[in-house]
Amino acid sequence: MMADEDLPLLDSPRAGDSTARHRIFLRGKAKPRPLFRSRVGTAQDVPEPPGNPALVRVAAGAVGLVAAAVIAVLATENDRADLAALPPPPTGLTGTLGVPPALPRTTAPATPSPAAAVPATAVPLTTTITPGVPSRREQLRREALPVVVPATTATTTAATPPTTASTIPSPASQTTPPPPATTVPPGTDSPPPLSVKWAFARVEPAESPIGVETDLIGTWQWGTPRPVRVTRESTGVYRLRLPGLASSEVVAHTNVTHYPEAHPVGCVVRDNRAVGADQVVVVACANGGTPINTRFNLLLAEPGQRSAVIPPDAPVRRLGVGLYEVDIRGFTGNGYVQVTPYGTDFARCQSGGIRGTTIRVRCTTDTKWAATYVEGAPPAGSIGAYAQTTGTAPDLRIDPARSYNSTGGAFDLHRLGVGRYRVLAKGVGTSGGTVLSGATATGHCHTSTWEAFPHPVNEVWADVLCLDDSGQPADLQFGVAALRKPLDPGERLGPLQAVDPGRPAPAGATPGSTTTATRPVCPCG
C-alpha cells in the first residue's frame, strides 16, 4: 500500500496490459479506481440531495450502466501495433537519450516528480523504432523535434550542438566545440601574432612632489585608456599606476634614460601587480647604491608569440654571485634579450650573452630578475626594431644576423667617443615611443639620450653609454631596442635607407622631443 503523497496520474504502459493505460492514481490512497467511475462518482461519493431520493438513485444507476459499457468496449479494444512498447536501445551506444519533444529543455532534464501528468518514456533518437515506414507516433515525434543546424564557427549561440552521423546528443551533453586551429596566411612562416596587453611610459617629470600623484607627459606613453600616473614616494622611488592594464602575466622592464653622465646608474622593479583594473609598478633608481631621481623608460608586456619570458620567480641556474643561466626552447639564439633586476635592494643586471639557446645574466649582486627574449619581432607591439653589435672595439658594427626591423628599415652605427655610440633605426620613428638598451657581454650600458622623428623621417636616434665593471667608459658590445605605437590610420613611413646619423638634420625635420628643435649633430666631425 502506498503512502499519502502526490501520485502519478497514469501508470506507465506495460506490454500486454491494455487496461493499465486507463487507470489513474489520485492524491491520497493508492487504491486504483476506474477512470470514468472516478469522474461520475457513486451513491457513496455524492451525498443525496433533498427531494426524491429514489429518482436520484435511478439516474445514478443509469449513468453507472453507461460507464460500465464504455469500459467494456475499451477493455476489449486491441492494442495498435504502432503503440506497442518501444524496443530497448541497441547495445554499444554511448550517446545520451533524448527527452520527449513535448517537454523541450535547455539543461539536463530532472527526474519527473510523482505529480507529473505524463511520465516520460525515453526515446532513443539514434535508432529507428520499426524498419520501413515509421509509425504515426514516430512521425509526430519527428515533427516535434527541433531542427539541428551544423555549427559553422567555433562559437555558436544555437541551443543544440552540431549533428553527427552517429548520435544526436541531448542538451545535457552539449559542450562548447574547440576553436579552430590558427590558419597561417599565405606567404607567411608563422601564425599571426596574438593580441597581448602592453604599454610604455617615460617617467617625466622625475622631480614631482613627494606623495603627489602626477600625470606623466602624454607624448611618451601609450597603451592605457587614461594617462599613466606617478607618485614619487621618496628619493628615487616611484609608484606608477597604468590604468586598465591589470594582468598577472605582464613583465615590467625599466631602463635609465636621458642620463648623460658616466655613472653606474640603474633601476630595479620593487613591485609589479594588478590592483583592480590597473597595473601598479614600483621602481627604485640609484647611482651605485645611492638613491637618485632620474628619468627612466618603463615597458610592460605580456608574453608574445615570438618571445620567451623569464619571470622573477622562474627557476634558473646560479653559477656564482650575481651570475645566472637559463635555457629557452624553440629559438635559434640570435634574438634580443632585455634584463631587469627585481627586489628591494639596489642591483644592476644585464645580459651576459646568449650561447646557443642558453641566456646568461650578469648582476652586481645576487638578486631576482626578469628577462624577455624576442627573435624576429619587436619586444612588444607590431612596429619596432632591435639592433645588436658585433666585433672588437673600437671596430664595433651592427650584426645583421642578430638585428631586426619590422618595417624593413636600415640601421646605422656611429661611434661618438669611448663607450659612447649612436644607433639609427629607420622606419620606426614617431612623436613618442620608447627605447631600451643594455650590454650583451660584460659591463653595463644605458640610454644616455634618444630622439624620435615622425613622418616623413620616421627615425629613432639612440645614444648609448657603456661602462666596464670598474665604472669607467669602455667600448662594449651592446643592444638597443626601439618601440612605438601602432600606425595611425593613413600614416605612412618615410625612406627606409640608411642615413649617416652624424650629419645635420634635413630641412623641415622636427624631432619628437619636447625640448629639442633639431636633430643632434655628431660632435666628432
What's the average model confidence in pLDDT over 272-289? 97
353 shares its domain with 267: yes
pLDDT in tens, 38-51: 343 444 444 444 45
Structure confidence at residue 61 (pLDDT): 53
Domain span including residue 274 = 199-374
Angle, CA of 29, 30 and 31, to the nearest 5°: 95
Cβ neighbours of residue 80 closer than 8 Å, sequence gap 6 or more: none
293 shares its domain with 392: no
- 365 within some domain: yes
295 shares its domain with 424: no
Render the burial of 232-247: b for 16+ CB within 10 Å, e for the rest.
Answer: beeebbbbbbbbebbb
Q: Among 32-36, 219-223, 450-454, 475-479, which is the least confidently predicted range?
A: 32-36
Q: Is the pTM of this model over 0.75?
A: no
395 shares its domain with 446: yes
401 shares its domain with 283: no
250 shares its domain with 355: yes
Structure confidence at residue 182 (pLDDT): 32
Own/partner long-range contacts of 167-171 (Cβ < 8 Å, ≥24 apart): 167/93, 167/94, 167/95, 167/125, 167/126, 168/95, 168/98, 168/125, 168/126, 169/95, 169/96, 170/96, 170/97, 170/98, 170/99, 170/108, 170/109, 171/99, 171/105, 171/106, 171/107, 171/108
- 213 within some domain: yes
- Residue 317, classed as helix, strand or coil, is strand
Cβ neighbours of residue 72 closer than 8 Å, sequence gap 6 or more: none
What's the average model confidence in pLDDT over 225-246? 97
- Residue 407, classed as helix, strand or coil, is coil
| Choice between 6 and 127, residue whose per-residue pLDDT is larger | 6
What's the average model confidence in pLDDT over 53-58? 46
- 73 within some domain: yes
Question: CA-CA distances (angstroms) from residue 64 to 33, 44, 77?
Answer: 14, 13, 20
User: What is the tally of structural domains in the chain?
Assistant: 3
Q: Among 16-25, 164-173, 219-228, 447-456, which is the least confidently predicted range?
A: 164-173
pLDDT in tens, 164-195: 333 333 333 333 333 333 333 333 344 434 46
Query: Can you give 149-215 as a three-state secondary structure string?
Result: CCCCCCCCCCCCCCCCCCCCCCHHHCCCCCCCCCCCCCCCCCCCCCCCCEEEEECCCCCCCECCEEE
Cell numbers describing residue 59 = 439516474
- The C-alpha atoms of residue 378 and residue 108 are separated, in whole angstroms, by 49
- 209 within some domain: yes
- The C-alpha atoms of residue 515 and residue 450 are separated, in whole angstroms, by 12
295 shares its domain with 417: no
Last residue of a domain, one of 374, 403, 424: 374
Q: Among 27-41, 265-279, 430-444, which is the least confidently predicted range?
A: 27-41
263 shares its domain with 408: no
413 shares its domain with 465: yes
pLDDT surpasses 50 at 137:
no
Last residue of a domain, one of 335, 355, 374: 374
Structure confidence at residue 498 (pLDDT): 56
Angle, CA of 229, 230 and 231, to the nearest 5°: 130
Pairing of strands 478-483, 384-392: antiparallel
Structure confidence at residue 106 (pLDDT): 32
Structure confidence at residue 404 (pLDDT): 97
Last residue of a domain, one of 342, 374, 406: 374
pLDDT surpasses 80 at 435:
yes
- 133 within some domain: no
Q: Among 145-159, 217-231, 468-482, which is the least confidently predicted range?
A: 145-159
- 356 within some domain: yes
Structure confidence at residue 373 (pLDDT): 96
- Residue 391, classed as helix, strand or coil, is strand
pLDDT surpasses 70 at 123:
no
> Per the omega criterion (within 30 degrees of 0), is the bond before 456 cis?
yes
pLDDT in tens, 330-371: 999 999 999 999 999 999 999 999 999 999 999 999 999 999
- 453 within some domain: yes
Cβ neighbours of residue 493 closer than 8 Å, sequence gap 6 or more: 407, 409, 427, 455, 458, 487
Structure confidence at residue 64 (pLDDT): 53
- 310 within some domain: yes
pLDDT in tens, 74-88: 444 444 443 333 344
Average model confidence (pLDDT) across the chain:
71
pLDDT surpasses 60 at 323:
yes
pLDDT surpasses 50 at 517:
no
Structure confidence at residue 475 (pLDDT): 96
Render the burial of 123-152: b for 16+ CB within 10 Å, e for the rest.
Answer: bbbbeeeeeeeebeebeebeeeeeeeeebe
389 shares its domain with 426: yes
> Per the omega criterion (within 30 degrees of 0), is the bond before 243 cis?
no
228 shares its domain with 326: yes
Render the burial of 483-503: b for 16+ CB within 10 Å, e for the rest.
Answer: bbbeeeeeeebbeeeeeebbe
- The C-alpha atoms of residue 337 and residue 379 are separated, in whole angstroms, by 9
Cβ neighbours of residue 45 closer than 8 Å, sequence gap 6 or more: none
| Choice between 111 and 421, residue whose per-residue pLDDT is larger | 421
Structure confidence at residue 261 (pLDDT): 94
Taking alpha carbons only, the member of 219, 253, 223, 254 closest to residue 451 is 219
Structure confidence at residue 395 (pLDDT): 87
Indicate the pLDDT class of residue 122, thresholds 50, 70 and 90.
Answer: very low
267 shares its domain with 347: yes
